[in-house]
Amino acid sequence: MLGNIVIGLVTSLLGGAFVWLWERARKARAVNRRAAFFGVRPGETCLIVLGNKYNSPGTAHYRDVRAVVELTLLVGELGCDAAVESGGYRGSNGDRTEFCVGGPTGGANLRTGGHLAAHLPGVTVHPYDGTSPESVAIEVGGEKFLFDRGQQEYALVAKFTPTESTRPVFLVAGQTSVANLAAIHFLRREYARVARQLPSVERFCLLIKVSDIGTYEFHRASLERDVTAAAFGP
């Protein structure tokens, strides 16, 4: 009788330990997949480059500051620290994963403009022009994604590793600060679903659409298209 009790206790303990180990391994796999998508490694310091407000050097839009807070929370959840620099930052990201936030229009983020020119030859961000329907449009491979302020906007999200670096750049170039924040907020929640649609998470370029902004602000975002081939192509 005592032997049966002991066997039952041992079986219960082993079963509990197995469940605990399985749950721990499951959570570790989820963290690793998330880290792989955003290109970070636990224990590293990530570089976050924050752009200026449009035509306002030295100031940042509060939504872009909020986007940086979301990124800081994200990398913290993945066991990383964050260092923040302005869009005027120069030099290689080296062994630090870089998150570069903000489009190049109006000199908002000069580093974004440099990244686009150096690594995404198929992308053009049209300048602001209050009279042209192509104002602030993102053009990829000849297709234009137009800007409809306060209604429908886009953010270009790209991940690539410069040849002189050992860690990737994660670029978020929205048509406005709303689009920047929407893209980061969306990918924090939906990275796994987005990753399943990509041939590779090592290098990609996506367009995130933000709609019904007047009602939902940055909360209604979706993956519009994978434009990797066109963006990195000639």
Position 132: which residue type?
S
For residues 77 and 25, the answer to whether their CB atoms sit within 8 Å is: no
Specify the DSSP element, H or E, that contains 16: helix 2-38
119: pLDDT strictly greater than 90? yes
Share of the chain above pLDDT 70, in %: 85
Q: What is the C-alpha separation between 59 and 24, in angstroms, rounded?
A: 43
Structure tokens at 5: 């009790």
| Phi, psi angle pair for 46, to nearest 5° | -95, 150
Check residue 59 and give its pLDDT. Answer: 76
CATH domain 39-232 topology: Chitobiase; domain 2 (3.30.379)
pLDDT tens for each residue of 40-53: 999 999 999 998 87
Give the end-to-end CA distance of the chain in Å, rounded to a whole number. Answer: 78
Length of the chain as a residue count: 234
Check residue 234 and give its pLDDT. Answer: 73
> DSSP string covering 134-192, please?
TTT-EEETTEEE--BTTTEEEEEEEEE--TT-SS-EEEEEESSHHHHHHHHHHHHHHHH
Q: What is the C-alpha separation between 149 and 106, in angstroms, rounded?
A: 16
Long-range pairs for 139-142: beta carbons < 8 A, 24 or more residues apart: 140/205, 140/207, 140/227, 140/230, 140/231, 141/227, 141/229, 141/230, 141/231, 141/233, 142/230
For the whole model, what pTM was predicted? 0.87
Check residue 22 and give its pLDDT. Answer: 42
Q: pLDDT band for 3, please (50, 70, 90 cuts).
A: low
86: pLDDT strictly greater than 80? yes
| Phi, psi angle pair for 219, to nearest 5° | -85, -15
Average pLDDT over all residues of the chain: 89
In degrees, rounded to 5, the angle at the alpha carbon of residue 234 between the alpha carbons of residues 96 and 205 is 45
SS3 at position 26 = helix
Of residues 188 and 31, the one with the higher pLDDT is 188
Residue ranges per structural domain of the chain:
39-232
